[in-house]
Amino acid sequence: MGFIGPGYGHVKFTMRRSINVVKFSPLHDQDEVQVELYQLRSFVAVAEQAHLTRAADRLHISQPALSAQIKALEEELEVELFERTSSGMTLTAAGKRLLGEAKNLLASAQALRNEARAIRARLRARQAWGPCPIRISSASLNSPAQPWNATR
C-alpha cells in the first residue's frame, strides 16, 4: 500500500492488475473506487496525444474501445477528465490534476512488476543451482595469518 496524494487514501494492487483507490471524505466515510491499469494507460495516452484516434493507434486498440474506457474511467471517478472538441481532446482542470497521479500509479505498478520479476529470477536461479555448501577448514579459522581455505 502507498499514499498517492492529497484527498486520497491508500493504493492496493490486486492480482487482476487493478488498483483500488480509496478516497476519504471529510466525514471519514470510505468510497472504494475500482480503477484498472489499462484505463490509466488510456487516460495518459489520450492526455499526451490530445486526440482520441492517435491515442488509440498508439495503444493498438480501436477508437470506440478507447472512448468507452475513458468514459468508464470518468464515471468511476465521477469527474470529467477531458473536454471534447472538434480538434481533439483537452484536459479539464480535474484531468490535469489527476494526470500526474495516474503516471505515478503506472510507474508504481511497473516497479512492482519489475520487483516481482527480479524475485522470480532469483528463485529460479536458486532452484537451478540448489544449495551450495562451502566447507571451511577449522585450521584456517584458527590461524589469522592464513587465508581461509574454502572447498566444495
Report CA 125 to chain centroid distance, whole Å. 26
In 3D space, the residue among 36, 4, 33, 38 whose CA is nearest the CA of residue 21 turns out to be: 33
The whole-model pTM stands at: 0.66
Q: What is the pLDDT of residues 22-70, one digit of tens each?
A: 443 444 455 677 888 999 999 999 999 999 999 999 999 999 999 999 9
**Dihedral, 27, 28, 31, 32 alpha carbons, nearest 10:** 170
How many residues make up the chain in this entry?
A: 152
